[in-house]
Amino acid sequence: MEQYAIKGGNPLVGEVEIGGAKNAALAILAASVMTDETVLIENMPDVRDTNVLLQAMESIGVIIERIDRHTVKINGAHINGLVIDGDYIKRIRAGYYLLGALLGKYKKAEVAFPGGCNIGSRPIDQHIKGFKALGADVDIAHGLIKAEAEHLRGGHIYMDVVTVGATMNVMMAAVMAEGQTIIENAAKEPHVVDLANFLNSMGANIRGAGTDVIRIKGVQKLHSTEYTIIPDQIEAGTFMFAAAVTRGDVTVKNVIPKHLESISAKLIEIGCEVEESDDAVRVVAAKRLNHTQVKTLPYPGFPTDMQPQIAVALGLSSGTSIVTESIFENRFKYVDELTRMGASIKVESNTAIIDGVDRYTGASITAPDLRAGAALVIAGLAAEGITTIDEIRYIERGYEDFPLKLRMLGAQIEVVDTEKDLQKFKLRVG
Ligand code: EPZ
C-alpha cells in the first residue's frame, strides 16, 4: 500500500504555484452540463475528486475532452441518463452538485447519497429544503436522492445553517426556474462567488453572491463560456502553515491574498511575517511560534478546512492554545496520530486544548481524512527522524502533486509502495 515517507527537519524555502480551487471546480464542472453548448474550463485541479466527478459525468453521456492537465472541454448536449449511482460517486461529496445541475436543466435527477470525508454527520436537509421551495419533490430511497419537478419556479429560502453545499446546489437548480429566487443566510465562501460568476458567464442572472442574500432571476437557457477557476485557498493556506511549522520562508504564488486574510492574520498573531503582493503571499517564520486561540467559522472566518493545519502549528508553539471547531463535530480524528508524534492535546467535545511541545518525533501514522492528512504531513516535515503516513488516497483527493511541490521547497518526502522502497528512502536521506 502506498505511503508517504518523510524525513523531517528541513525548513521549507522557496516558491510554490497554487492550483485551481477543488471545491469551486467540483461545483463548476457539474454546472457545465447545464447548457447544450460546449464549455471550456481552465485552471482545473487534477486531483482525485475532480477526476471522479468527471467520470460520473461521462457515465451519463457528458462528453469530456481533456485539452491538457488543467483544461477541459465539457459538452452536456447528449446526456442519456439522469441516474448517477455506483461506488465511485459515493466516495465523494460533490456528486450531489449533479442533482442541482440536472434538476435545474432537466427537472429530474437521481444521485447516490453523497459520501466524502468522514468529519462528522453531514446532513443534506438544507439542499432538500431548497429544492422543495423551488417546487421539486424530493425522495430518498435505496441509497439514492431523487428530485423531480414538473415545473421549477423561484422561491424564498432561508438557510437554517450557513452551508456552502446547499447554497451552491440551490443556486444551480434556480438559474433556469421561472421568476426570482432569494437565498437568505447564504454561504459567502470564494467558491460560492466563483460558481455564481461562472453561471453568470453562461447567461445566468445571479446577484449578491459573496453576501448573505443571493438573488437569482431565472433565465430561459444557458450558453457556452470559457472560464478560469479561482486559486485554491486551502492548498495555499496549507503551504503557508507548512512554512510556519518548519520555520521556513515560502512564497505561495497564483493566489488571491484577500481570500487568505483569516489565515494570514493567524500566522501574524503566532509570530510569522506575512508579506502580500498582487497575487502572492510570502510567509517567513524565524522563531518559535506563539500560542493563540482560534475558532472555525464560515467565510470570512477561519476555515474548518485549515483547522488541523493550525493545530499542528500550535502543537509546537510556546504555551497553551485553544482550537474550537464549530462546523463539523468529528474533525479532531488526527489528534491521536499527532499524539504518537509527541503532541500534547486534549479534546473536549468541539474544543482541543493544546500544550505546545518543543518537538515532534517521527512515527508511523495514518491519514484520517483529506485536510488532517495534509496537516500530518506538515507535522512529519517538522519532526525529528522518519515519519510514514498511510491512507494517502485521502490526501490525493484534494492536493495535486503534493510530495513534488514539497520537494521543490526542500522537503524530503517520497511515495513508497513496499518495505524495500522505504528502506531505500531511509538510506538515501541518511
Ligand atoms: C464543503 O462541504 C466542502 N466540500 C468541505 O471541504 C468544507 O469543509 C465545507 O464545505 C465547509 O467549508 C466540498 O466543497 C465538496 P457545508 P459541505 O454544507 O458543502 C451543516 C475539504 O476538505 N449542514 O458548508 O458538505 C453541516 O453539517 C472538504 O475540502 C446541514 O446541517 O459543507 C456543517 O455543519 C471537507 N444541513 C455545516 O452545515 C445541510 O443540508 C457546513 O456544511 C448542509 C450542511
Confidence (pLDDT) at 143? 84
> What is the whole-number distance in angstroms between the Cα of residue 140 and the centre of ligand 1?
19
Residue nearest to atom 31 of ligand 1 (CA): 123
Same domain, 60 and 202: yes
pLDDT, position 269? 98
pTM: predicted TM-score of the whole model, two decimal places? 0.97
| Ligand 1 geometric centre to CA of 117 (Å) | 10
CA distances from 56 to 89, 112, 113 (A): 7, 11, 14
Q: Which three cell numbers stand for residue 148?
A: 423531480
Same domain, yes or no: 180 and 313? no
Cα 268 from Cα 275, distance rounded (Å): 10
Residue 426, CB half-sphere, CA atoms under 13 Å: how many? 11
Contact 229, 21 (CB under 8 A): yes
59, 120, 130: which is closest to 95 by C-alpha? 59
Reduced to 3 states (helix: H, G, I; strand: E, B; else coil), residue 395 is helix
Contact indicator for 78, 59 with CB cutoff of 8 Å: no
Dmax (CA) of the chain:
67
Question: Given 188, 208, 228, which residue is the final one in a domain?
Answer: 228
Same-domain status, 423 and 289: yes
Using CA atoms of 163, 165, 167, 173 in order, give the dihedral in degrees to the nearest 10.
-150
| % of residues, the chain, pLDDT over 90 | 92
Residue 117 pLDDT > 90, yes or no? no
* Same domain as 285, residue 199: no
Residue 22 pLDDT more than 80?
yes
C-alpha angle 228/397/188, rounded to 5°? Answer: 50
Give every strand in the sheet of 273-276, ordered side by side: 13-17, 249-253, 280-284, 273-276
User: Which of 122, 350, 371 to mutate to test ligand 1, by most ligand atoms within 8 A of the CB atom?
Assistant: 122
With a cut of 80, say whether residue 389 has pLDDT above it. yes
Supply the pLDDT for residue 209.
98
pLDDT one-digit tens code per residue, 349-379: 999 999 999 999 999 999 999 999 999 999 9
In the numeric block, the cell 510530495 is attached to: 403
Between 330 and 162, the more confident residue is 162
Read out DSSP for 35-73?
Answer: SSS-EEEES---SHHHHHHHHHHHTTT-EEEEEETTEEE
| Of the candidates 374, 388, 410, 411, the residue with the CA atom closest to the CA atom of residue 341 | 388
Closest Cα to atom 21 of ligand 1: 305
Distance 175 CA to ligand 1 centre (A): 22
Q: How far apart are CA 137 and CA 135, in angstroms?
A: 7
Contact 155, 134 (CB under 8 A): yes
Domain boundary among 228, 260, 291: 228
**Residues 119 and 328: beta-carbon distance below 8 Å:** yes
Nearest CA to ligand 1 atom 25: 165
Backbone angles phi, psi at 423, to 5 degrees: -60, -40
296 lines ligand 1 (CB under 6 A): no
Average pLDDT over residues 294-317: 98
Residue range 383-387: mean pLDDT, rounded: 98
Same domain, 170 and 289: no
pLDDT at 116 over 70: no
Annotated catalytic residue within 31, 117, 170, 236: 117
Number of the ligand 1 atom closest to the C-alpha atom of 187: 24
Query: Which atom of ligand 1 lies at the shortest distance from residue 191's CA?
Result: 14
Residue 66: band (very low, low, confident or very high) from pLDDT cuts 50, 70, 90? very high
Segment 216-222 shows an average pLDDT of 98
Within 8 A by CB and 6+ apart from 198, the residues are 28, 31, 225, 227
Which domain does 81 fall in, by range? Answer: 22-228
Residues 354 and 241 in one domain: yes
Same domain, 224 and 236: no
Mean pLDDT, range 36-45, rounded to an integer:
98
Calculate mean pLDDT across residues 226-252.
98
Residue 28 Cβ contacting ligand 1 at under 6 Å: no
Of 96, 97, 163, 212, the residue with max ligand 1 atoms within 8 A of its CB, to mutate for a pocket test, comes to 163
391-396: average pLDDT? 96
- Determine the Cα–Cα distance for residues 124 and 82; give it in Å rounded to an integer: 20
375 lines ligand 1 (CB under 6 A): no
Q: 88 and 185: one domain?
A: yes
Q: How confident is the model at residue 430 (pLDDT cuts 50, 70, 90)?
A: confident
What is the number of domains present in the chain?
A: 2
Rounded Cα distance, 157 and 153, in Å: 12
Dist. CA 165 → ligand 1 center (Å): 6
Q: In terms of pLDDT, which residue wins out, 271 or 116?
A: 271
Do 216 and 192 belong to one domain?
yes
d(CA 255, CA 17): 8
Last residue of a domain, one of 178, 210, 228: 228
Residue 88 banded pLDDT, cuts 50, 70, 90:
confident
Residue 186, ligand 1, Cβ within 6 A: no
Residue 165 CA, closest ligand 1 atom number? 19
Least confident of 39-43, 88-92, 399-403: 88-92
- The Cα 250–Cα 334 span in angstroms is 25
Which range among 88-97, 217-226, 254-263, 312-321 shows the weakest confidence by mean pLDDT?
88-97
Residue showing cell 442541482: 100
CATH number for the domain harbouring residue 172: 3.65.10.10
The Cα 287–Cα 24 span in angstroms is 35
Same domain, 224 and 322: no
Phi/psi at 190 (5° precision):
-55, -30
Whole-number Å distance between alpha carbons of 47 and 207: 30
For 332, the grid coordinates are: 479532531
Residue 300: burial class (beta carbons within 10 Å; 0-12, 13-18, 19+)? middle
The whole-chain average pLDDT of the chain stands at: 96
Please indicate whether residue 117 is annotated as part of the active site: yes
Question: Do both 386 and 281 map to the same domain?
Answer: yes
Residues 289 and 381 in one domain: yes
**194-221 mean pLDDT:** 98
